[in-house]
C-alpha cells in the first residue's frame, strides 16, 4: 500500500514519521488545484493531510472534484485542536491513527459555493433561507444556524 502525505503550510516537519510506502510532499497552506492535482494523479491508496481544517478542506475538495473520494482513503493529522478535529475526535499530531486506521465512509457537507464543510459552520445572526438538500429548514430570521456533519451518520452512497 502506498500512502501520499501532504504537509500543508508551516508545519513541524520533525514530527513526521518515515516508513516504507509513505511519500511526503510539502505544500502551501490551503493548497490549490495546481498544487494538489499532479500529486493526486499518482496517488493510489491513501492520502494524509498534515495541517489545518482549511488545508484538509482544500484537499478534500480536490478529491471531490476529481471524483476520487470513493477510491482513496483520507487521513487527517491536525496541527492544532480545531472544529474538525474536535468533531471527529482526532488528536493533534496523531500520525499513526491517520496512517493505520481503517477507512470509514463519512458524510460530506457541501456549501452553496461548491466548498466542503468538515467541522462546524455558524452564521449568526441570520435572515434568509436555509436548505438541507431539497428541504427548506429556515425562512426568515434566527439567532444562529449551526451546520456540521454527524460522524455517526452513514454516508449516502449517491450524492443528492
Domain coordinates in residue numbering, the chain: 3-106
The C-alpha cell at 69 is 473520494
- Top-confidence range, 43-52, 109-118, 145-154: 43-52
pLDDT band with cut points at 50, 70 and 90 for residue 104:
confident
Q: What pLDDT shows up at residue 157? A: 64
Question: pLDDT class for 153, splitting at 50, 70, 90?
Answer: confident
- Tell whether the model's pLDDT for residue 10 goes beyond 90: no
What's the CATH architecture for 3-106?
3-Layer(aba) Sandwich (3.40)
More confident residue, 156 or 64: 64
pLDDT of residue 156: 66
For 19, what's the count of Cα atoms within 13 Å in the CB-facing half-sphere? 12
Q: Which residue from 5, 87, 10, 1 is spatially nearest to 44, judged by alpha carbons?
A: 1
Render the burial of 139-152: b for 16+ CB within 10 Å, e for the rest.
Answer: eeeeeeeeebbeee
Q: What is the pLDDT of residue 111?
A: 80
Distances (CA, A) of 15 to 25, 98, 111: 14, 14, 33
Amino acid at each position: 500500500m502506498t500512502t501520499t502525505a501532504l504537509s500543508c503550510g508551516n508545519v513541524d516537519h520533525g514530527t513526521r514519521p518515515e516508513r516504507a510506502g509513505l511519500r511526503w510532499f510539502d505544500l502551501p497552506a490551503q493548497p490549490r488545484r495546481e498544487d494538489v492535482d499532479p500529486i493526486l494523479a499518482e496517488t493510489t491508496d491513501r492520502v494524509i493531510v498534515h495541517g489545518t481544517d482549511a488545508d484538509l478542506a482544500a484537499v478534500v475538495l480536490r478529491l471531490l472534484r476529481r471524483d476520487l473520494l470513493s477510491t482513496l482513503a483520507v487521513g487527517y493529522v491536525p496541527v492544532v485542536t480545531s472544529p474538525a478535529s474536535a468533531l471527529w475526535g482526532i488528536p493533534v499530531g496523531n500520525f499513526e491513527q491517520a496512517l493505520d486506521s481503517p477507512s470509514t465512509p463519512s458524510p460530506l457537507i457541501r456549501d452553496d459555493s461548491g466548498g466542503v464543510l468538515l467541522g462546524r459552520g455558524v452564521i449568526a445572526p441570520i435572515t434568509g433561507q436555509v436548505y438541507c438538500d431539497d428541504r427548506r429548514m429556515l425562512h426568515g430570521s434566527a439567532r444562529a444556524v449551526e451546520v456540521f456533519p454527524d460522524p455517526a451518520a452513514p454516508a449516502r452512497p449517491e450524492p443528492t
